[in-house]
């Protein structure tokens, strides 16, 4: 059986990693969640993906 890859740990990394279909991102600290809700670019500028209602998919951005 192939082992599961380690999940990403950096802010804004796609979960699951290495797929264009991810809609979740890593917020490793509670403060990252607060920054996201406030629209703080400390977090929002690092987001690789997001739920389509709130985030434009990278393929569409291209």
Here the tokens at position 25 are 């991102």
**Residue 54: its pLDDT value, please?**
87
Query: Could you read off the pLDDT of 20-51 as tens digits, one per residue?
Result: 889 999 999 999 999 999 999 999 999 999 88
| pLDDT for the residue numbered 28 | 95
**In the numeric block, which tokens belong to residue 15?**
């979960």
**Which residues does residue 45 pair with via DSSP β-bridges, in sequence order?**
none
H-run or E-run covering 39 = none
Q: Read off the tokens for 36.
A: 């996201």
């Amino acid at each position: 059986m192939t082992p599961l890859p380690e999940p990403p740990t950096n802010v804004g990394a796609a979960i699951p990693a290495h797929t264009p279909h991810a809609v979740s991102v890593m917020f490793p600290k509670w403060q990252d969640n607060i920054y996201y809700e406030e629209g703080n670019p400390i977090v929002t500028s690092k987001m690789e993906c997001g739920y389509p209602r709130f985030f434009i998919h990278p393929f569409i951005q291209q």
